[in-house]
Chain A
Amino acid sequence: MERMARKIEINHDKCIQCVGCASVCPVMAIELVGLRMKTYPEKCIGCGACVRVCPANCIRFVEKRE
């Protein structure tokens, strides 16, 4: 069954690749790959730790189909 879930989205224009989000993500749903932060929406549990820790204020939630 399809449902909507809260998932993170990174604004790469504002991101400074500090990896703060990856450091506090409890489920390893974000990681630095190459020169960009990569997200794994299927792992994200919507806890918001990354949103709060991001010093560049570049992560926010979006509603996505799961």
Chain B
Amino acid sequence: MADYDYDVIIIGGGPAGATMARIAAQNGQSVMVYDKRKELGEPVRCGEGLGQREVVAQGLDLPRWCFSTEIHGAKVVAPNGKSITWKSGDTKGWVLERKIFDKWLVELAVEKGAKVKTYHRVTDLVKKDGRIDGVMVSRWGGEPYEVRAPLVVSAEGMEAMVARKAGLKAAATLYDVDTCYQYEMKPYDHENLIELYFGNDVAPRGYVWIFPKDARKANVGIGIGAHLTNWKKGGEVDGADPKLLLDKFVQGHPQLKDSSVLEDFGGVISVGAPIDSFVKDGFMCIGTAAKQVDPIHGGGIALAMEAGIMAANVAEKARGKKDYSEKVLKEYENVWRAGPGKKVAKRLLLRKVMEEVNDDDLNHIFNTITDADLQKVLEGSFAGPVAKVVGGRPQLLRVLKALVS
């Protein structure tokens, strides 16, 4: 394939793109990553939480500078204010510094031989004989020029512009996204717990989170169902508004009401299903661009990295066969759907069942179960706590069945 500039062009230098670039380069492929941002990892659009199990599964040793603090447990708060807390002796995950973490992942890829260009935007796809054969890329403001590769990968994140131009149905609908607002705040004295606050008045179809950070800081954010927002006539807010709800929460919080905001973040997260198809002739879509996101909490970093590895392995097979047809690339999709895809599908079902739980039900659950019960649930023993909850409210059985199945 002498007339190609690279073996693979990856659009987007987030966790999905950087991971695929690392593995592909390690396999001996020539890799180019284009990122349209001026700085990798910036702006942050995320709560920055990452579970420990996921990183260990990737075989990565997360350096100290990539995360802000460790997570040692969780506290969940019901609409009536009653909470249950679970504390663990050891680390269960991290709250990252995404700006540093993302760059670190890209650096790992560069060390393996991948090339990266920031502030370069892919404006269009190059097609030849009906298949994707390269991209048009523009350094910010400059004339787009052609770069060719037998494989183009969209790791673009939520907006998935190029994936859509490739013909994949990657546009999100309002019902399947949560609209989010987040502050980084200081001071906030915490116990390294993730805190989640539920309730229709707090966050309709969503929740408020407090993720601990180092040096008495925290990410305080909200996500609500985007379909619950409403027209804003002349700039006035009619329906639910994430920023107003977050401000209300902060004002009502005994500690945060006197804290300062160090940074504003916003974004949308996918809480729906992955897209119908991840591949085309000469084209793959990985990570959040393919809506490979946990539909309960909207987390996508671990799934993105996993998909990056799977895609790189299939890309290597395609290179060996000199065949980048949809048929060959489909193996990546099949492997994904048979693995992480199954878990995501289950979580989507659970999310939809959970939407039927109202504030009364939540209060009932929190009034009934104790910290010890939660501990049992987390250890995988559901029978006792479930019997306790359902005893007073049999209609919850359906929800809890979905939880434990």
Chain A contact residues, CB within 8 Å of chain B: 16-20, 22-26, 28, 31-35, 48-49, 51-57, 60
- With the chains together, A63 CA to B175 CA distance in Å? 27
Which residues of chain B from 225 to 280 have a CB within 8 Å of any chain A CB?
226-227, 229-232, 234-235, 237, 239, 241-243, 264-268
Which residues of chain B from 43 to 66 have a CB within 8 Å of any chain A CB?
43, 45
* Closest residue on chain B to residue A30 by CB atoms: B159
- With the chains together, A57 CA to B231 CA distance in Å? 10
B181 touches A55 (CB 8 A): yes
CB distance from A49 to the nearest CB of B (A): 6
CB distance from A46 to the nearest CB of B (A): 12
B266 touches A23 (CB 8 A): no
A28 touches B179 (CB 8 A): no
* Closest residue on chain A to residue B164 by CB atoms: A28
- With the chains together, A62 CA to B230 CA distance in Å? 17
A18 touches B232 (CB 8 A): no
In the bound complex, residues from chain A placing their C-beta under 8 Å from that of B161 are 22, 28, 31
A18 touches B43 (CB 8 A): yes
In the complex, whether B172 has a CB less than 8 A from a CB of chain A is yes
Q: How many residues of B contact A (CB 8 A)?
A: 40
* Partner of B38 from A23, A31, A35 at Cβ < 8 Å: A35
Chain B contact residues, CB within 8 Å of chain A: 36, 38, 43, 45, 121, 140-141, 157-161, 164-165, 171-174, 177, 179-181, 226-227, 229-232, 234-235, 237, 239, 241-243, 264-268
CB distance from A60 to the nearest CB of B (A): 6
A52 touches B226 (CB 8 A): yes
Say whether, besides A18-B268, A23-B160, A53 and B43 are in contact (CB < 8 Å): no
A23 touches B172 (CB 8 A): yes
A24 touches B181 (CB 8 A): no
Q: What would be 29 A-B contacts, judged by CB atoms less than 8 Å apart?
A: A16-B264, A18-B265, A18-B266, A20-B266, A20-B267, A23-B160, A24-B171, A24-B172, A24-B174, A24-B177, A24-B268, A25-B171, A28-B161, A31-B159, A31-B161, A32-B159, A33-B36, A33-B121, A35-B38, A48-B231, A52-B232, A53-B229, A55-B180, A55-B242, A55-B243, A55-B268, A57-B235, A57-B241, A60-B235
Say whether, besides A25-B171, A33-B121, A55-B242, A16 and B265 are in contact (CB < 8 Å): yes
